[in-house]
Amino acid sequence: MPENWSAVIRQYRARFGLTQQAFAALLGVSQRTVSRWERGQDRPNIERQRQLRDLGWTPTSLMLRNLAVSVRHCPVPRALSHTRDLRLLEVSKAAVAKRPSIRNWVGHRLRPIATGVLADIMDDGALQKALARRELSGLVTTTGSVLETGDAPVTSKFHTTISYFYEDGDLFSDAISVPAAADATCGYTPIYHDEEGGAG
């Protein structure tokens, strides 16, 4: 059964409060193209269909659906990501308040804009191997800005706990942040499954 691209686009725009123009800029197409898609006068090409599927990610399990709702309504900055390709799936309203342009990255891969501690984590070969071997429960981090999104940089520091989990055969991460002292040292500490007392 063919996908209803008009409904996918309208739902995504309504969810994030995007105009057709803003949504078009997100995909790199014209507003007129988005309008034609929404009216059913045209269909996105294969590449755009892939982008729309990523943007319109819908959790398949009850646990992921509930978690996505929890993330969306969390009172502190929080993000749910597909870990393998570091694709942002859901963000809290508090995360959007901290960095308004982050809503434009939902459904997109964050690797191209990763910086600071996040880039260090992704480039840490031993850590990535431990994650692939399912040895890690999560990370505790202290960071400044970890994404170069083009808007004003986030100058505050945050303590973030990242929990990793498998669901539907895929690896996901749930990152929750709270403010840190301005003089806090940036870095990260892995939490292994066999640790009883957490990060040291």
Residue 191: pLDDT above 70? Answer: yes
Residue 16: pLDDT above 90? Answer: no
pTM value? 0.70
Radius of gyration, CA atoms only, the chain:
18
Of how many residues is the chain composed? 200
Work out the widest C-alpha separation in the chain, in whole angstroms.
Answer: 59
Tell me the one-letter amino acid at 160: T
d(C-alpha 118, C-alpha 188), whole Å? 9
d(C-alpha 45, C-alpha 47), whole Å? 6
Please state whether beta strands 87-91 and 136-143 pair in parallel, antiparallel, or not at all (unpaired).
unpaired
The torsion angle over the Cα atoms of residues 17, 19, 22 and 28, rounded to 10 degrees, is: 120
Contact between 91 and 161 under an 8 Å Cβ cutoff? The reply is: no
- Percent of the chain, pLDDT > 90? 40
* Range from 13-27, 70-84, 86-100, 112-126 carrying the lowest mean pLDDT: 13-27
Query: For the segment 159-190, what is each residue's pLDDT rounded down to a tens digit?
Result: 999 999 988 778 999 999 999 999 999 999 99
- The per-residue pLDDT for 184 is 94
Q: Which residue has the tokens 């006068």?
A: 41
Contact between 182 and 157 under an 8 Å Cβ cutoff? The reply is: yes
Query: For the segment 24-70, what is each residue's pLDDT rounded down to a tens digit?
Result: 887 888 999 999 999 988 888 888 887 777 666 666 678 888 888 89
